[in-house]
């Protein structure tokens, strides 16, 4: 929804207001509709609200420049994307009715109307139609306990003048970002890392760089970033920062259990009805907006479910709409003459709902020309270029006037949508001694997806706790690892990389919690998959001033889904079985029982070997890459040539990692 930024010099030193303006301006793409600042002298209690070039003139706020040279040790900056109450009343930083608390807030509290009604019963009076004002009242009524009452996505900071502390919080799954860094007695925070770099130096976090290059992983340490000294507030956390305390007091207000415990097992019918009801209510809440709402549509189960549920709801609200314009607009990423073209599946949803479908056609030439802008917006490297297709979707959405987009992210992590989950479930069955059922699950999946049974068996054995490590190490014996070969000895020296491959694999197995379906789902929801996906989703959408909303990440739906029995989630060789049952009658059966999934992919191998080959060769052969000392340039160039020749041992995501990391380093490290 917006961009937030703040600096607090807790030793009383004045904040450089021009630095605050520069940092906040870097976030303008997150909020082009309004601009605001709060200047605080925490010693005297003086508080001044002021504006900038994009501030609504009706507010009659003094300019930030008018206060240059004055002494303020805490300054908050804000950029607004107007979603609720489009009037100037939604301006931030916003104060509580009594002026005691001030907030900068990025996100949406979807149940704000229900909370507003409840808080009115306590005597609170509201001046705006925003959810921001509801957060302030909830904080004053319940303190930090207010967080457990919110249903939404958020990252905010509240300056409490009465207690002289800064209270910060992030939503349960980290849909909205919150970065922070300490410099001496000072602290800086914001929605994107690039803004923090106006205050703290840009230094690479070499252990994270090493993990990215050597293992192709992200987020095993989700509070770490690629920048040394810059951290991400953990999802589901609140933090209180006081003047006389070096570090904030951070506490978790919500997290999933390591292993769910249920008192009674529901029937499949009851469980599917509950999932459908919760998804429907989640979509209902996420349709609340004072600007147009559309949907991303890939032609798969997840996004199709959201589109169809939303469409039925919109028609119920607006009547039959016979002969009228479509009630919903969708945007899809497609390709001409490609196996990645989803239009035959998308068309089934369009015919079922009558939505107005829009299409974007990502191209290699587009990525070539935009790659620096694309990587700059992402802030940190990613594991593949599929985020570019999503980038194109949000650009197309904005072109059609859509400011809010519903999305299907989170369903795969919650309902075991990824292919290996069948093997994870089969491994769980084997550990329980249920050999026949495990074999049946694998055979049904194999026949439906035409995969070699040997591949599935190897994958299953690698998921069994007591076999995972020796089997994986045996499988690696004698095999060439291009990631490992590309590492430069200088990075090994600087990052202290002393592990053998066996040590690395042992660590991965320990973190993964192999052998139990829910343990693996917990990992995908909290460390290995979802955090990266949500970071990409936030940056891709906000690059075009579009807000993305994720109905599958309603905490009530996640809690219910996570506590389901394994065989409700994976059954008869189907992943996401319970969701397929829940959407019966809501979406076309051809989509509901579609065995494959694509999402918004890009033809990476084709692009990297063909139209983008000169880009790869230029970057990988560059002097900057050689001098950086992270990759062995001769090995990288040799391996890229092997990749272009079609060597299957060198995957597209490996060569992308080399390119992505070097361009990221140029943009964020070399230019400062």
Residue by residue, DSSP assigns 425-465 as: HHHHHHHTT-HHHHHHHHHHHHHHHT--HHHHHHHHHTTSH
The beta-carbon contacts of 394-398 under 8 Å, at least 24 apart in sequence, are 394/331, 394/540, 394/541, 394/543, 394/544, 394/546, 394/548, 395/360, 395/543, 395/544, 396/331, 396/358, 396/359, 396/360, 397/294, 397/296, 397/331, 397/358, 397/544, 397/546, 398/544, 398/545, 398/546
pLDDT over threshold 60, residue 230: yes
Same domain for 384 and 451, yes or no, is no
Does 567 fall in a domain? Answer: yes
- Shared-domain flag, residues 572 and 666: no
pLDDT at 471 over 70: no
Cis peptide bond prior to 93, omega within 30° of 0: yes
The last residue of a domain, from among 569, 592, 615: 592
Residues 117-175: tens digit of each pLDDT: 999 999 999 999 999 999 999 999 999 999 999 999 999 999 999 999 999 999 999 99
- The residue out of 522, 543, 558 marking a domain boundary is 522
Sheet of strand 34-41, all strands in order from the earlier edge strand to the far edge: 46-50, 34-41, 74-80, 2-9, 186-190, 179-183, 230-232
Instruction: Give the residue among 15, 373, 26 at the shortest CA–CA distance from 194.
Output: 26
List the single range of 478-492, 496-510, 643-657 with lowest mean pLDDT.
496-510
pLDDT of 85 higher than 80: yes
| pLDDT confidence band for 324 (50 / 70 / 90) | low
Which segments of 348-433 are extended strands (E)?
356-360, 404-406
Question: What are the structure tokens assigned to 129, written together?
Answer: 């139609």
129 within some domain: no
Helix (H) or strand (E) holding 194: helix 193-196
Return the pLDDT at 465: 65
- Reply yes or no: is the peptide bond before residue 334 cis, omega within 30 of 0: no
In a domain, residue 211? The reply is no
Place of tokens 């209180």: 240
In degrees and rounded to multiples of 5, residue 251 shows phi and psi of -135, 145
Domain membership of residue 121 (yes or no) is no
Contacts made by residues 511-514, CB under 8 angstroms, sequence distance 24+: 511/220, 514/424, 514/427, 514/462, 514/463, 514/464, 514/465, 514/468
Answer whether 633's CB lies under 8 Å from 418's CB.
no
Query: In the prediction, which pLDDT does 468 show?
Result: 56
Q: What is the DSSP letter of 162?
A: T
At residue 504 the predicted structure's pLDDT band, cuts being 50, 70 and 90, is very low
Q: Is residue 299 part of a domain?
A: yes
Q: Residue 499: pLDDT band by 50, 70, 90 thresholds?
A: very low
Please check whether residue 638 lies inside any domain of the structure: yes
Burial of 186 from C-beta contacts in 10 A (0-12 / 13-18 / 19+):
middle
Backbone phi, psi, residue 531, to 5°: -55, -40
Give bridge partners of residue 357 from the DSSP assignment.
330
How far is residue 623's CA from residue 151's CA, in Å, rounded to a whole number? Answer: 50
Q: Assess whether pLDDT exceeds 90 at residue 475.
A: no
Residue 641 lies in a domain: yes
Nearest to 207 by CA among 196, 188, 221, 193: 221
Of 567, 592, 617, the one marking the end of a domain is 592
Q: Tell me whether residue 146 is one of the annotated catalytic residues.
A: no
DSSP-based three-state secondary structure for 340: coil
Q: What percent of the chain has pLDDT over 90?
A: 76
pTM of the model: 0.94
Give SS3 for 534.
Answer: helix
Q: 427 and 337: one domain? A: no
Asked whether residue 303 falls in the same domain as residue 374, the answer is yes
- Report the C-alpha gap between 583 and 581 in whole angstroms: 6
Q: Which of 2, 146, 168, 308 is catalytic?
A: 2
Are both 237 and 182 inside the same structural domain?
Answer: yes
Between 327-331, 468-472, 648-652, the lowest mean confidence (pLDDT) is in: 468-472
CA-based end-to-end distance of the chain: 29
Q: How confident is the model at residue 478 (pLDDT cuts 50, 70, 90)?
A: very low
**Helix or strand run (H / E) with residue 236:** none
Residue 60, pLDDT above cutoff 80: yes
Q: Does 433 share its domain with 537?
A: no
- What's the CATH code of the domain at 318? 3.40.50.620
411 lies in the same domain as 424: no
Q: What kind and span of H or E run contains 399?
A: helix 387-399
Q: Are residues 452 and 510 in the same domain?
A: yes
Give the model's pLDDT for residue 98: 94
Q: What's the mean per-residue pLDDT of the chain?
A: 91
The model's pLDDT over 11-54, given as tens digits with 9 standing for 90+, comes to 999 999 999 999 999 999 999 999 999 999 999 999 999 999 99
Write the CA distances from 22 to 85, 196, 298, 408, 605, integer angstroms.
Answer: 27, 10, 38, 35, 39
Q: What value does the mean pLDDT take over residues 52-70?
A: 94
Indicate whether 433 belongs to any domain.
Answer: yes
For residue 517, give its domain range.
Answer: 420-522
Regarding whether 168 and 36 lie in a shared domain, the answer is yes
∠ Cα 206 207 210 (to 5°): 85
pLDDT band at 463 (very low <50, low <70, confident <90, very high): confident
- 582 and 608 inside one domain: no
Bridge partners of 258, per DSSP, are: none
Tell me how far the alpha carbon of residue 329 is from its chain's centroid. 23
Distance between CA atoms of residues 635 and 533, nearest Å: 30
Q: What angle do CA 417, 522, 498 make, to 5 degrees?
A: 110
Instruction: Tell me: do 54 and 173 sit in the same domain.
Output: yes
Same-domain pairing of 410 and 457:
no
Residue 316: predicted pLDDT: 82
Mean pLDDT confidence for 410-419: 93
DSSP letter string, 538-580: HHHHHTTT-EEE-GGG-HHHHHHHHTS-HHHHSBTTBTTHHHH
The number of domains in the chain is 4
């Amino acid at each position: 929804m917006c961009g937030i930024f703040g600096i607090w010099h807790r030793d009383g030193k004045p904040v450089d207001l021009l630095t605050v303006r520069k940092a906040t301006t870097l976030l303008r793409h997150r909020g082009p509709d309004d601009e605001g600042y709060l200047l605080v002298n925490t010693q005297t209690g003086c508080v001044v609200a002021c504006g900038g070039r994009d501030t609504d003139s009706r507010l009659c706020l003094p300019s930030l420049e008018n206060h240059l040279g004055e002494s303020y040790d805490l300054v908050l900056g804000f950029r607004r994307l107007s979603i609720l109450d489009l009037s100037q009343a939604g301006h931030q930083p916003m104060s509580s009715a009594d002026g005691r608390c001030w907030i900068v807030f990025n996100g949406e509290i979807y149940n704000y109307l229900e909370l507003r009604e409840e808080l009115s019963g306590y005597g609170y009076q509201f001046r705006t139609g925003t959810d921001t004002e509801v957060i302030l009242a909830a904080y004053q009524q319940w303190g930090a306990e207010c967080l457990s009452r919110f249903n939404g996505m958020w990252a905010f900071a509240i300056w409490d003048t009465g207690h002289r502390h800064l209270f910060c919080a992030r939503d349960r799954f980290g849909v909205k970002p919150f970065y922070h860094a300490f410099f001496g007695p000072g602290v800086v925070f914001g929605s994107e890392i690039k803004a923090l770099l106006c205050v703290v130096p840009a230094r690479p976090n070499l252990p994270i760089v090493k993990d990215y290059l050597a293992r192709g992983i992200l987020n095993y340490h989700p509070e770490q970033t690629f920048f040394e000294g810059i951290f991400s507030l953990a999802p589901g956390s609140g933090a209180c920062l006081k003047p006389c305390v070096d570090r904030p007091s951070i506490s978790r207000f919500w997290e999933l259990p390591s292993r769910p415990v249920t008192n009674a097992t529901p029937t499949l019918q009851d469980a599917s009805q509950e999932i459908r009801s919760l998804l429907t209510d989640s979509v209902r809440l996420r349709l609340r907006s004072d600007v147009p709402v559309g949907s991303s549509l890939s032609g798969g189960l997840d996004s199709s479910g959201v589109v169809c549920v939303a469409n039925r709801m919109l028609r119920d609200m607006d009547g039959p709409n016979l002969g009228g314009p479509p009630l919903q607009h969708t945007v899809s990423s497609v390709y001409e003459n490609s196996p990645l073209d989803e239009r035959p599946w998308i068309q089934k949803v369009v015919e079922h709902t009558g939505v107005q479908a829009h299409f974007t056609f990502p191209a290699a030439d587009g990525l070539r020309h935009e790659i620096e802008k694309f990587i700059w917006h992402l802030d940190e490297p990613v594991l593949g270029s599929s985020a570019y297709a999503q980038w194109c979707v949000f650009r197309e959405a904005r072109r059609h006037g859509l400011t809010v987009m519903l999305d299907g992210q989170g369903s795969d992590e919650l309902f075991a949508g990824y292919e290996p989950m069948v093997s994870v479930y089969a491994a769980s069955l084997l550990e329980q001694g249920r050999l026949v059922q495990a074999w049946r699950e694998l055979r049904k999946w194999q026949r439906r997806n035409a995969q070699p049974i040997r591949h599935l068996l190897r994958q299953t054995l690698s998921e069994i706790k007591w076999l995972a490590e020796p089997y994986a190490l045996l499988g690696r014996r004698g095999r060439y690892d291009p990631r490992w070969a590309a590492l430069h000895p200088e990075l090994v020296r600087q990052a202290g990389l002393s592990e053998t491959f066996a040590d690395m694999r042992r660590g991965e197995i320990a973190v993964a919690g192999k052998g139990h379906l829910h343990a693996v789902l917990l990992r995908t929801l909290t460390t290995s998959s979802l955090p990266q996906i949500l970071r990409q989703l936030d940056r891709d959408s906000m690059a075009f001033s579009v807000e993305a909303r994720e109905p599958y990440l309603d905490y009530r739906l996640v809690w219910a889904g996570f506590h389901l029995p394994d065989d409700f989630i994976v059954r008869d060789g189907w992943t996401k079985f319970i969701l397929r049952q829940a959407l019966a009658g809501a979406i076309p059966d051809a989509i509901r029982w579609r065995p494959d999934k694509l999402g918004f992919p890009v033809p990476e191998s084709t692009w990297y070997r063909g139209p983008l080959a000169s880009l790869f060769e230029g970057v990988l052969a560059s002097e900057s890459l050689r001098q950086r000392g992270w990759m062995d340039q001769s090995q990288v160039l040799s391996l890229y040539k092997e990749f272009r020749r079609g060597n299957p041992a060198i995957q597209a995501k490996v060569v992308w990692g080399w390119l992505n990391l070097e361009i990221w380093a140029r943009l964020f490290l070399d230019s400062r």
